[in-house]
Structure 1
Amino acid sequence: MPEKKDRSPRPEPGPFGAGARVLVRRPSESAQTGRIIEDYAELTDTEERGHAWAPVHRWAVALDDGRLVFADTDDLTAEPSTPGSSG
């Protein structure tokens, strides 16, 4: 019988989680602020889903300008005005 993989989401890294204010920095555009609205950690392991050509980004972020973007943890910084952040 094949082993079952643990499907539980990875713990939220540091100050990130649904509702957290963040600064999104992506190479293709200027930095934008917004609020995390969803964590897709359980979907980021594409090994058995067969779509490494279109990887799932962990975080859905509603930007202050009204757009919805998907980003990885490396693309996010806690917004400096967020309590408990170092800024």
Structure 2
Amino acid sequence: MQVLTNAGALDRDKQLAVVSRFTGMVAEAAGDPTLADRTWMLLTEAAPGGWGLGGHAHTNDELVAAARKQIAELQAMAGEQQ
């Protein structure tokens, strides 16, 4: 399994938590608790400019801004539906 994040998104405690939680999810989904002992994970950080979204290679700051914009749009849509 590979987890891709923007550079610097996960400090050491977060790395440990991500690996633990995803490993548990894989074993649970497979219905085989022993799979946790055989699950390998690769934590990868995308270099600035290494994220492609909407036909544009984004820096980390641009990616965060795009994600925040989309979250705000989704929240506005959810508010309209209530």
Give the TM-score normalised by structure 1. Answer: 0.22
**Higher RCO (CA < 8 A, seq sep 6+):** 2
Larger strand share, 1 or 2? 1
Larger helix share, 1 or 2? 2
